Amino acid sequence: MGKLIAANWKEHPKTEAEAFALFKAVARTPRPSGVTVLVCSPFIYLEEIAREWKRMPPKERERLVLGAQDVFWEDQGAYTSEVGPAMLRSIGAKYVIIGHSERRKFAKETDAMINKKIALALRDGLKVILCVGEALSVREKGVDVAKKFVAQQLLKDLKDISIKAGDLYIAYEPIWAIGTGRSDKPEDAREMAMFIKSSLKKSKKISPKFLYGGSVNGKNAADYVQLREIDGALVGGASLKAEEFKKIINAM
């Protein structure tokens, strides 16, 4: 697969009607050759969106896939409100985002929790998008310090996990760039991509795909994805605007 453009809707939109309208707009957008579009909706909409996806003609489903924004570390049990990876697979989801900085901050997710989620998600056949990234206070000390911070996240999050080629994406989202309109410099994102790929090739004997996230929009998307080391983007706010997200897809 070439480039992956992942839409992370977060806690949006407010109604089912809006969610379907947004999904249909994304589905109608032509996908350039070699580009796969991933839609990660809130759990409450995912099952119905999956049904809508399955009703689409095969040609329209090409390179359009579904995913979730989170998952639990057990397939089933007395875990009120949680959703396991087997449940996600059963409705047609193929990807899951794990370790997003907003989950780490607001849900108090630890690296140990993220590690358990990744292990089970991979075992159950989901492709994992692991989010890593540093806060502004770290980045202000320099790119090398940011690299060390990210390296520690990877070490803890992927501890003792065996990974098959193609099953892991690393989404680098510098926290200071998420939703702020301030994106990382493409050359710095490229340097981080090279560092992450090199580190995991050495430690885990794998070459993960690399996604950049953090205020990606129709104007700057091409600056990142045109770089050979960057395999796509994880898009937040801009993925909620059909025309803006269309520009990002076309930028591929």
Active site residues: 100, 173
Q: With residue 171 as reference, give the H or E element that holds it.
A: strand 168-172
- Residues in Cβ contact with 101 at an 8 Å cutoff, skipping those fewer than 6 apart: 131, 133, 173, 175, 178
CA 176 to CA 40: how far, in whole Å?
A: 22
Instruction: State the DSSP string of 111-152.
Output: HHHHHHHHHHHHHTT-EEEEEE---HHHHTT-HHHHHHHHHH
CA 110 to CA 130: how far, in whole Å?
A: 13
Question: Exposed, middle or buried by CB within 10 Å (0-12, 13-18, 19+), for 217?
Answer: buried
Question: Exposed, middle or buried by CB within 10 Å (0-12, 13-18, 19+), for 164?
Answer: exposed
CA 225 to CA 213: how far, in whole Å?
A: 11
Contact 251, 34 (CB under 8 A): no
- Hey, CA dihedral for 170, 175, 176, 181, is it positive or negative? positive
Tokens representing 231 are 């395999």
Residue 63: alpha-carbon gap to chain centroid: 16
Place of tokens 């249909």: 24
